[in-house]
Amino acid sequence: MAMNKTVVGTLAVLVIAIAAGAGFWFGQRRAPDAGASAASGAQAKAGVPAGAASGAVAVEAVKVARVAMPQTITAVGSLRSDESITLRPEVAGRISAILFSEGQRVAKGATLVRLDP
């Protein structure tokens, strides 16, 4: 049974490789012919002799315009503080009052929270 799967897998890979190679080969053979007929049609319209530009490439030109670029950038991300602390009570209880504001500087030894007696 394992040999059957191996043989089928190998044949599938071989068929895909042959199809890809044939597609590439036919694509390489057809591309110059299509480009030559398009170039000769463009040369005939422009009044250029047929043999003058055999390797001509079609070019598109656009007028350059000055446009103001936005001065802001929008991004999504997350922030982490450089410094942080963890507050832990020395005794168990519920916090009844927080005696500081976020970002406020506090003095050493100051009461930060009041517990419910």
One pLDDT digit (tens) per residue for the chain, 117 residues = 556 888 888 999 999 999 998 888 887 776 554 445 554 555 545 555 555 556 788 889 999 999 988 888 888 999 888 888 787 777 888 888 999 998 889 999 998 888 887
At 8 the pLDDT is 87
Exposure string for 90-113, b = 16+ CB within 10 A, e = fewer: eeeeeeeeeeeeeeeeeeeeeeee
Domain ranges for the chain: 2-73+84-115
At 51 the pLDDT is 52
At 72 the pLDDT is 87
Ramachandran bin of 109, using left for φ above 0, alpha for ψ from -120 to 50, beta for the remaining angles: left
At 2 the pLDDT is 58
At 27 the pLDDT is 79
pTM: 0.27
At 50 the pLDDT is 54
At 13 the pLDDT is 92
